[in-house]
Chain A
Amino acid sequence: MLDIPTGADSALREGAGGKQRHVASHLRRLEAESIHILRETAAEFRKPVMLYSIGKDSSVLLHLAMKAFDPGKPPFPLLHVDTTWKFREMIAFRDRRARELGLDLIVHTNNDGLSQGIDPFTHGSARYTDVMKTQALRQALDFHGFDAAIGGARRDEEKSRAKERVFSHRSAAHRWDPKNQRPELWGLYNTRLAPGESMRVFPLSNWTEIDVWDYILLEDIPIVPLYLAASRPVVERDGALIMVDDDRMPLQPGEAPQWRSVRFRTLGCYPLTGATSSTAATLPEIVQEMMASRTSERQGRMIDRDSPASMERKKAEGYF
């Protein structure tokens, strides 16, 4: 089906002199598919939005959206659901990227949750995630009346995601019904919605974690520096290294932050995101480390550990 030339072939076709850069045809194929999905979303929906979580997948997604509509701008805004517990570097990066690219950025926080003082330390990760992420996302989608929300989830991340469609239908209550999904054939997507219903769209469905890194490397896509190893203050809790990103983090008796060379494989709320010990301070070093890694990226996420079906349940409730 996809029939993109091998690197050598396309390099010859370009015909320019000098050393030819090898074009990774595998990544170009994934790129072509994702751009196709993004354009379908723009063409078929009344009011789409792109969920921007600031992580590496979001960075790739944003880069693809810029390419898909170039020389125009993506015809949808970015939405960040801010729990107020994100790493400070993430927020700085978010605001800078939106400004540099001249994009419309909507930031939404669940103010009800905030005024109830919901935090990840006292309320537990499950309740905190539900209120500050899932409920917050639903509030934002309802408030703006978005009928399609584009996200960076990949099928290789988790077993229930492996079953999800590229265009994944949500009821008016934002619920996912995994047992009643629309069949998805060829590159043809059923985008029809009844009033109040919406679609979650996943252009990176067929990418793997290593593809994401390879593409960041190939295209020199800006990412949050937290992905690169540096000396950071961390404490060790339940076997995970938690970075003390601000003074809201209650330290237990005898606990003192230690400066260690760490980096993050995934980014989220700092109290729920475990760091890994690493000295990989450049992109090629990260990719090297990835190739040798024996654990999955979600291992660093506390919220997926609750039960084997926790992701499926959260997704059914409206989590991304």
Chain B
Amino acid sequence: MSYHEASTIAAADAPRLEQDDRPTLRFVTCGSVDDGKSTLVGRLLYDSKTLLDDQLDALASESKTAGTTGGDLDFALLVDGLQAEREQGITIDVAYRFFATKLRRFIVADTPGHAQYTRNMATGASNADLAVVLVDARKGVITQTRRHSHILSLLGIRHVVLAVNKMDLIGFDGDRFACITAEYLTLAGQLGISQVQCIPVVAPDGDNIVAASTRMPWYEGPTITAYLESVDVAGDASQQPFRLPVQWVSRPHANFRGFCGRIASGTIAVGDAVRAQPSGHQTRIARILTPAGERNHARSGESITLTLADEIDVSRGDVLTAASAAPVSDQLAAHLVWFDGEAMVAGRRYLLRCGTASTGAVITELKHRIAIDTMARESATTLDVNEIGYVHLDLDRPLVFEAYRDNREMGSFILIDPISHRTAAAGMIDMSLRRATNVHWQRLAVDKSVRARLKQQRPCVLWFTGLSGAGKSTIANLVDSRLAELGRHAALLDGDNLRHGINRDLGFSNAERTENVRRVAEIAGLFVEAGLIALVALISPFRSERELARQRLATGEFIEIHVATPLAECERRDPKGLYRKARSGQLPAFTGIDHPYEAPLAPDITIDTSEMSSEAACERIIRYLRAHNYL
């Protein structure tokens, strides 16, 4: 019996849920320092009666000790949650707050107005339907306002509330408000922000927040709350073609194989024809399992499990599509918002995550940087933290995607630094750089299973990783000879030797080491397709790059062998005299000395040559290959 069937549903107690089924609006607030963003959000929480007595007591006592309002309630303290924020009276990080009115629930992302503004605003806006942009009535539309609005438009926000705050400080001047409104509408028009509502407010006093202000009788529009309660932001993702990024393959027992994920767009029904992309295999939907039980239909936003009519190969990172096929490409043009303190480097490899897919990606070209204050395109060679640019990307594997403007979930990605693991950038896909976007891989008539049968072996890659001098090449050579004796077909790729040939143009920077590994992985992959057992002896210091090599291959084709001879022993042997050079400073960035080596977390085989001879290590590998049916 499944978990669904086991749990009963309390139908009798539903009335409250029915009455309380208010839709949720997610919005982001932005503005400059001291424009009063946190105060506005605090005020919304206060006026919507979301705050409870003990929280109000705490606010009253904190306002006296840490407040900036001379002992009156300091609403900003409600959202400035970190100690440093309260001490300095500023907001550092995005805070998410929840409140509800009779008509709607709200999740508000309150974002800082100063340092890291671009990064935090982009974060807050990425999940928002609408933005509240604050301006100080005394200053009107300033550079910061333009900057924020530009980022909002880039992140696809189409609805903006312009809250003109501190109206009391300009004597509630309606003409001034009209000027600011006109100026902002021009800006919004240029940016493609289609829906703008301008509202004059005094956040600390609550004018036009929940209650209409009595001090500005000339204003006849809605209050902030009234507008947020009524605005229609629905972009109907269910009307778009069906896209399901596969998150998890569920195989609890031999008779069940389900594909789990959250539907990015569209609807699906039992019996519908679907294809797995990028492979292109086609089949039909057999069953749809939802959190509320088995159903005939599902639509965008739902987390479901599908079973298919035919056994086709589908794994995490693939996308199930129906109706039209999604574009597939390994060359993309995209907008990037750079987040990392370490500047963007063209030619360097990053890890790209889009939907549930991960792949290595190289920024091949920075087409232009955007001067955010003027929105002008300027030429540049790099992007620093908080800068925005337009780039071309070259991916290790074809990606199933949609343009960001059409589909946020299928068109957004992040770039991760392979060494620091920091999130280096957020990206929005503009288009494929290849004209023919629906190209499927050419299926080869003679595939590797045919070649493998001919050779009576299962092709695979034996990837020897470890420090210089650990014994990788020695053992790989022994295994190569042994396989030849057994009449098997292998080929040895040695890191040092390859650097004399195909990799002769590469040095030892992180980017070049990464490229070195990528090329070797590609070649090893081609050997596997040719039916060979490929032996790779390469320091390959980064876990992320070895992972990319593993991903280049099918499951079970990548065997990671950690030659884990301790550093002290490698250094004692020093067969090529490299450690001596590194210690004397003649060889900078030497792995193990002043450059990191990331040991495998779960290698398939571990060998320590300080405890085991190379011959014994070779036999152990041969035994492994036999035990796992490679030979």
Counting CB contacts under 8 A, is A214 at the interface? yes
State whether A31 touches B291 (Cβ < 8 A): yes
Binds A, one of B408-416, B436-444, B499-507, B510-518: B408-416
State whether B13 touches A283 (Cβ < 8 A): yes
State whether B9 touches A190 (Cβ < 8 A): no
Binds A, one of B119-127, B208-216, B568-576: B119-127
Counting CB contacts under 8 A, is A107 at the interface? no
Known: A185-B426, A284-B13. A162 touches B4 (CB 8 A): no
Chain B residue numbers with a CB within 8 Å of A5 are 238, 299
CB distance from B19 to the nearest CB of A (A): 10
Instruction: State the main secondary structure of chain B at its contact with A.
Output: mixed
Counting CB contacts under 8 A, is B62 at the interface? yes
Chain A residue numbers with a CB within 8 Å of B356 are 40, 43
Bound CA–CA A158/B3 (angstroms):
33
Chain B residue numbers with a CB within 8 Å of A36 are 247, 261-262, 303
Counting CB contacts under 8 A, is B39 at the interface? no
CB distance from A203 to the nearest CB of B (A): 11
CB distance from A38 to the nearest CB of B (A): 9
User: Between A and B, how many residue pairs show CB distances below 8 Å?
Assistant: 244
State whether A39 touches B248 (Cβ < 8 A): yes
CB distance from A111 to the nearest CB of B (A): 28
Known: A192-B544, A214-B17. A70 touches B22 (CB 8 A): no
Known: A156-B98, A208-B98, A217-B10. A183 touches B426 (CB 8 A): yes
Known: A160-B82, A295-B52, A308-B58. A26 touches B599 (CB 8 A): no
Binds A, one of B249-257, B273-281, B461-469: B249-257
Chain A residue numbers with a CB within 8 Å of B291 are 28, 31-32, 35, 64, 67
State whether A13 touches B98 (Cβ < 8 A): no
State whether A162 touches B256 (Cβ < 8 A): no
CB distance from A257 to the nearest CB of B (A): 26
B residues 55-114 touching A (CB-CB < 8 Å):
55, 58, 62, 66, 78-84, 86, 92-98, 105, 107
Minimum CB distance partner of B4 in chain A: A70
CB distance from A15 to the nearest CB of B (A): 8
State whether A182 touches B54 (Cβ < 8 A): no
Residue from B13, B22, B93 in contact with A26 in the complex, judged by beta carbons closer than 8 Å: B22
Residue from A26, A193, A219, A295 in contact with B9 in the complex, judged by beta carbons closer than 8 Å: A219
Chain B residue numbers with a CB within 8 Å of A258 are none
Binds B, one of A16-24, A122-130, A136-144, A225-233: A16-24
Minimum CB distance partner of A182 in chain B: B423
State whether A185 touches B237 (Cβ < 8 A): no
Counting CB contacts under 8 A, is B316 at the interface? yes
Counting CB contacts under 8 A, is B11 at the interface? yes
Counting CB contacts under 8 A, is B53 at the interface? yes
Closest 8 CB pairs of A and B: A72-B252, A159-B81, A185-B126, A192-B421, A2-B301, A35-B303, A220-B10, A309-B83
Known: A22-B21, A32-B291. A182 touches B252 (CB 8 A): no
Residue from A7, A70, A308 in contact with B21 in the complex, judged by beta carbons closer than 8 Å: A7
8 pairs, CB–CB < 8 Å, chain A vs chain B: A3-B300, A159-B80, A185-B414, A187-B409, A219-B10, A294-B52, A296-B54, A309-B83
Counting CB contacts under 8 A, is B606 at the interface? no
Bound CA–CA A294/B53 (angstroms):
5
A residues 237-284 touching B (CB-CB < 8 Å):
283-284
Counting CB contacts under 8 A, is B601 at the interface? yes
Minimum CB distance partner of A6 in chain B: B21
Q: Which of A3, A5, A294 has the most CB of B within 10 A?
A: A3
Minimum CB distance partner of A300 in chain B: B54
Q: What interface size band does chain B fall in?
A: 35 or more
Chain A residue numbers with a CB within 8 Å of B299 are 3-5
State whether B292 touches A28 (Cβ < 8 A): yes
State whether A299 touches B54 (Cβ < 8 A): yes
Counting CB contacts under 8 A, is B435 at the interface? no
Counting CB contacts under 8 A, is A71 at the interface? yes
Which B residues are within 8 Å of any A CB, using their own CB? 2-4, 7-11, 13-14, 16-18, 20-24, 26, 52-55, 58, 62, 66, 78-84, 86, 92-98, 105, 107, 119-120, 122-123, 126-127, 129, 234, 236-238, 247-248, 250-252, 256, 258, 260-262, 289, 291-292, 295-297, 299-303, 305, 316, 339, 351, 353-356, 408-409, 412-414, 416, 421-423, 426, 544, 598-599, 601-602
State whether B423 touches A183 (Cβ < 8 A): yes
Minimum CB distance partner of A220 in chain B: B10
CB distance from B57 to the nearest CB of A (A): 9
Counting CB contacts under 8 A, is A312 at the interface? yes
Chain A residue numbers with a CB within 8 Å of B316 are 43
Q: Which of A35, A161, A205, A296 has the most CB of B within 10 A?
A: A35
Residue from B127, B260, B292, B409 in contact with A23 in the complex, judged by beta carbons closer than 8 Å: B292
Bound CA–CA A208/B57 (angstroms):
21
State whether A27 touches B17 (Cβ < 8 A): yes
Chain B residue numbers with a CB within 8 Å of A220 are 7-10
Q: What are the interface flags for A156-171 relative to B under an 8 Å C-beta threshold, 1 for contact and 0 otherwise?
A: 1011111100000000
Counting CB contacts under 8 A, is A195 at the interface? yes
Chain B residue numbers with a CB within 8 Å of A195 are 598-599, 601
Residue from B18, B55, B79, B96 in contact with A22 in the complex, judged by beta carbons closer than 8 Å: B18
State whether B256 touches A71 (Cβ < 8 A): yes
Bound CA–CA A21/B9 (angstroms):
10
Known: A3-B301, A69-B250, A192-B416. A218 touches B9 (CB 8 A): yes
State whether A73 touches B252 (Cβ < 8 A): yes
CB distance from B304 to the nearest CB of A (A): 9
Bound CA–CA A208/B107 (angstroms):
11
Bound CA–CA A72/B426 (angstroms):
34
Bound CA–CA A71/B3 (angstroms):
7
Counting CB contacts under 8 A, is A92 at the interface? no
State whether B52 touches A39 (Cβ < 8 A): no
Known: A5-B299, A29-B301, A219-B10. A186 touches B408 (CB 8 A): yes
State whether B122 touches A183 (Cβ < 8 A): yes
Chain A residue numbers with a CB within 8 Å of B8 are 220
CB distance from B621 to the nearest CB of A (A): 24
State whether A163 touches B292 (Cβ < 8 A): no
Q: Given A185-B126, A219-B7, output 11 extra A-B contacts at Cβ < 8 Å.
A: A7-B18, A22-B21, A24-B18, A36-B303, A46-B601, A67-B291, A69-B248, A69-B252, A72-B256, A162-B95, A190-B421
Counting CB contacts under 8 A, is A155 at the interface? yes
State whether B238 touches A3 (Cβ < 8 A): yes
State whether A179 touches B13 (Cβ < 8 A): no
